[in-house]
Structure 1
Amino acid sequence: MATATPKVKPQTRIKMRIKKGDTVQVISGKDKGKTGEVLRTLPIENRVIVQGINLRTRHVKPTQEGETGRIVTEEASLHASNVMVYSTDKKVASRIEIVVQPDGTKQRRLKKTGEVLD
């Protein structure tokens, strides 16, 4: 009897409203309330890496003769739904809306403050 191979869904890119360089606030999890800058986005996984948030320690073995081992602290990724874009001027977190300008260009704008990003 032949076994059926499971159908694997192709990985699709998720359109993210959060971009690299945005200031975000964590809205859930152990780092709730903290703010930081987005260092990297992972659109296929719908995750972001934020500076100083969700820190993990990793023990690194020495690779060369005479080198000592060390403990490295690095940021792990967060799900994009656990962060909101943060307005540094008004000190408030807000959702993002996409606004189409009369000339056809799109801009990101904060819903609460009306502040235009980019």
Structure 2
Amino acid sequence: MASARIKKGDKVIILSGKDKGKTGEVTMSMPKADKVVVAGVNIAVRHTKPTQGDPQGGLVRKEAPLHVSKVAHVTADGKPTRVRFEEQDGKKVRVAVKTGEKIGG
């Protein structure tokens, strides 16, 4: 499972599919399913019938999950990078492979 490398709040770029090249922030991570939800990317449209809660009905747009292999971290210059783990001060931290900078906290 490679999804521990990408967590909620990370800035990522889409590597393949209809949204290729778009960037966004991870709003939800699903490590057991190896999927992530990225804000503003992979928008799914659902047609809904009118209900008591939503008397109007109509089109509902929401972000659908993407497989974690379709996204990569974004460096400061906007290019994708892989992530590796290193031990620093006795703690396991995520590090960008291209730049060597620490990711997150």
- Fold in common (TM above 0.5): yes
State the Cα deviation string for residues 17-55 of structure 1 (Å, max 9, x = none). Answer: 100000100111111111111011111110111111111
- 2:45 maps to 57
Work out whether residues 27 and 82 of structure 1, in 8 Å CA contact, stay in contact via their aligned partners in 2: yes
Q: Tell which has more relative contact order, 1 or 2 (C-alpha 8 A, sep 6+).
A: 2
- Runs (4+) of structure 1 exceeding 3 A deviation are none
Q: Is the 8 A contact 1:99 1:106 kept in 2?
A: yes
**SS class of match (1:81):** helix
Q: Show the counterpart of 1:4.
A: none
Specify which of 93, 103, 107 is matched with residue 80 of structure 2.
93
Q: Determine what percentage of the aligned residue pairs are the same residue.
A: 46
Q: What stretches of structure 1 of length at least 5 have no aligned partner?
A: 1-13
Say whether the 8 Å CA contact 1:41–1:47 is kept in structure 2. Answer: yes
AA aligned opposite 1:64: Q
SS of residue paired to 2:5: coil
Report the Cα offset of residue 66 of structure 1.
8.5
User: What is the CA–CA distance in structure 1 between the aligned matches of 2:60 and 2:97, rounded to whole Å?
Assistant: 38
Higher strand fraction: Structure 1 or Structure 2? 2
Deviation at 1:65, TM superposition (A): 8.2
TM-score using structure 2 length: 0.89
Is residue 2:7 matched to residue 1:19?
yes
Structure 1 partner of 2:103: 117
1:90–1:113 CA contact under 8 A, matched in 2: no
Larger radius of gyration: 1
Gaps of 5+ in 2: none
Shift in Å, 1:69 = 1.1
From 67, 72, 76, the equivalent of 1:84 is: 72
Q: Paired residue for 1:10?
A: none
2:31 to 40, 43, 53: 43
> Deviations along 1:56-111, whole A, 9 cap, x unmatched?
10112221189211211111111100100012x2221100011101x310111101
Task: Give the TM-score, by structure 1 length.
Answer: 0.80
